[in-house]
Amino acid sequence: MYGEVRIGKMDKNKIIFQLVWGSALVLAGIGIFCFMPQKMAQLMEMGKTSFYINFTRFCFYLIAVLLIGGGIGKIYVNYQKLEDKNQD
């Protein structure tokens, strides 16, 4: 009986850690969206070609979308697990 309670508590801690990690992913993705215009201006000052700038912009925005999507997915799944644990 003692072992079962302990395992449940460890699972809850793992779920909470996953929620925090998902939040960090979302914040990292938002950070990329916020700082990309500033970085693109720096690339333009360096005299890089239009293709290079557009390719870089596409790659970083794709990374931002993937980070936000993955973070939201992780938050959603683990929040559902946490709700299920609380109902037990």
Nearest one of 16, 8, 7, 17 to 88, comparing CA atoms? 8
> What pLDDT shows up at residue 64?
97
Q: What is the pTM of this model?
A: 0.80
**Helices 50-87 and 2-45: crossing angle, nearest 10°?**
160
**Which pLDDT tens digit goes with each residue over 5-41?**
444 666 888 999 999 999 999 999 999 999 998 988 8
At 88, the pLDDT band (50, 70, 90 cuts) reads: low
pLDDT on residue 4:
45
